[in-house]
Amino acid sequence: MTKAVSGGREAGRVSWEELVSTALVGADRRAVPPESLLERAAEQVVRMRAGRRPGRGRPPAPAAAETMPLVPGAAADRLARMLAGEQSRLLTEWLETAAARRVRVPAEMIPGLLDLGARDRSIRACLGAVTGARGRWLAGLNPAWAYLLAEPAHVPPDEVWELGTSGDRRAFLAALRHRDPAAARELLERGWSAETPEDRSVFVPILADGLGMADEPFLESVLDDRRREVRQAAADLLTRLPRSRLALRMTARARRLVTGNGSRLRAEPPQECDGAMERDGVRARPPAGMETRGWWLQQVVAHTPLSFWPDHLGMPPHEIAAARIGDWQREVRMGWTRAAILQRDAAWARALFEAEPLTDLLAVLPPEERSRRAAELVAGHPVDGQMVMMLGGVPRPWGHRLARAVLKKIVETTRTQPWNAGELIRLAGERFDPAMHEHAGEVPELAATLRFRSEMLKELE
């Protein structure tokens, strides 16, 4: 080596640090000929590059073996294209479908997906499933991806309740609750005081599956939890049990606040939000822009069993929903709307939707009816932001009726106001049954998206 570098002359014992320091301040100042400094530096730099010894590595502990099969090659290729930008709005559906099919993605795609999940919470649950053991291993190495460890993966092992991650334990509890509601509640109750506030707030909603009066004493005790999210979750469940103590307390409050007088209703908000109300899940501080007492009124109505109102006001739900209420009409209606959603009451949802078509209510209706009602709205309205927002609240896949109505609307709008159809076309592309592509020939962009989805779902089968 030295022959090629400098003709083999002895460079003397000048350290590299000394050469650098002389070069920094200037060789002239230290009375060193610059040429000889450069010559020595050349020799040393090549010697350092060539003589660089390996350092000590800190290899991570190996990842656990995978338990799920790899996604088929064509599906993986499509995912790579989607991650590169093609039809990226459909990524969520790809992930949901793959998660449901219990397949995992190729390892090299996991980092890109975990980066996406770091920005977009909505896909995290799916990522927990499709990234498999390798995903969790990577999440343990990169703090930015640690969120993945809170998501359930498939097939929780036996000791998961004692030793598993938060996500695994949640999955385990949900599965047990589905099989044996009492056993799940008892398991939860036994270790309740040792759980973290975060875990407590995600465990309570799991009891919604198979909820009954047997859960009432436990949920009532959870109302004393230190963490507001935990209390709130328990209160939301208790309002679904009309004979729960919370439901009775709320009913007593509601009885004084909303009263009937023939066909006219009257509402009077609470004067204060006392400790008992707060314990029952009423939040004292209103969201920005909302009147404080009206906010309390809305929450009391929202947590009162809907079955209370027809007797109390002497009217069936559809009349109540349409009745005029004077000053506090907005707050009371919002309360009922929230109650219909919390208590999943289709009759009330229907009645309220007729008075005011709020998308959130559609979710409570049976799919066929939801599709019909949305279709009616679409037929009678011009395409605007409100319609797109309403449709945005109707989950995939849209029923035949709604799809037909939307397609008709798109074709009309494309003809008269093409600039207005874009967002609706994109939404339709995501929500239609992909088999509709055969009928969407008039809207090439829509047909292309539907064909893409149709192929995408076929590959994942």
Partner 1 sequence: MSEPAATVRRVMRRWGQAATPDTGDAGVDGARADARADARADAGAGAGGRVAARRTQAEQRESRVAAGLSELERWLADQIGQGIAQARQTGPADWDDLARRLVDAQAPGVAGSVTRLPRVLGAEDWPGLLLGEYALLRLLAVAHRRAAALPEPLRQTVRARVGFPVTRESVLAAAAVRDHWDVVGCRDEEQDRLVARRVWLAGRTTGRLAMVLSFAPAGQPLDAFPPPGTTIDADLAFYPGASPLRALVAGRRGLVDAGPPPGTKVSQVPALIAEVLAADPWTDSWPLVLDGAVPCLDGLADDEGNALPLHPSAGVPWRLLAVSGGRPVTVAAEWTPRGLVPLTVWNEDGRAVPL
Q: Would you tell me which residues interact with partner 1 (CB under 8 A)? A: 1, 4-6, 16, 19-20, 23-29, 34-35, 37-39, 41-42, 45-46, 49-63, 106-108, 110-111, 134, 137-138, 141-142
- What are the Cα distances from residue 409, in Å, to 100, 107, 398, 400, 415? 33, 43, 15, 14, 10
**325 contacts 265 by C-beta, under 8 angstroms:** yes
Output the smallest distance, CB 143 to partner 1, in A.
12
Task: Pick between residue 98 and residue 267 the one whose CB is nearest to partner 1.
Answer: 98
Task: Pick between residue 116 and residue 322 the one whose CB is nearest to partner 1.
Answer: 116
Output the smallest distance, CB 176 to partner 1, in A.
31
| CA angle, 112 then 116 then 121, to 5° | 145
Tokens of 428: 């339709």
Tokens of 339: 């109650």
Output the smallest distance, CB 112 to partner 1, in A.
8
Question: Which residue, among 328, 325, 350, has the nearest Cα to 337 in the 3D structure?
Answer: 350
Task: Pick between residue 134 and residue 404 the one whose CB is nearest to partner 1.
Answer: 134
Task: Pick between residue 59 and residue 262 the one whose CB is nearest to partner 1.
Answer: 59
Task: Pick between residue 58 and residue 190 the one whose CB is nearest to partner 1.
Answer: 58
Task: Pick between residue 42 and residue 276 the one whose CB is nearest to partner 1.
Answer: 42
Output the smallest distance, CB 24 to partner 1, in A.
5
Output the smallest distance, CB 105 to partner 1, in A.
10
- 70: β partners: 104
Output the smallest distance, CB 125 to partner 1, in A.
20
**254 contacts 262 by C-beta, under 8 angstroms:** no
- What are the Cα distances from residue 447, in Å, to 214, 344, 431? 51, 35, 12
Burial of 435 (0-12, 13-18, 19+ CB in 10 A): middle
Task: Pick between residue 76 and residue 258 the one whose CB is nearest to partner 1.
Answer: 76
- What are the Cα distances from residue 184, in Å, to 191, 203, 233, 448? 12, 10, 17, 47
Output the smallest distance, CB 82 to partner 1, in A.
17
Alpha-carbon distance of 461 to 219, in angstroms, equals 41
Output the smallest distance, CB 440 to partner 1, in A.
33
- CA within 13 Å, CB half, 25: 10
Alpha-carbon distance of 201 to 198, in angstroms, equals 5
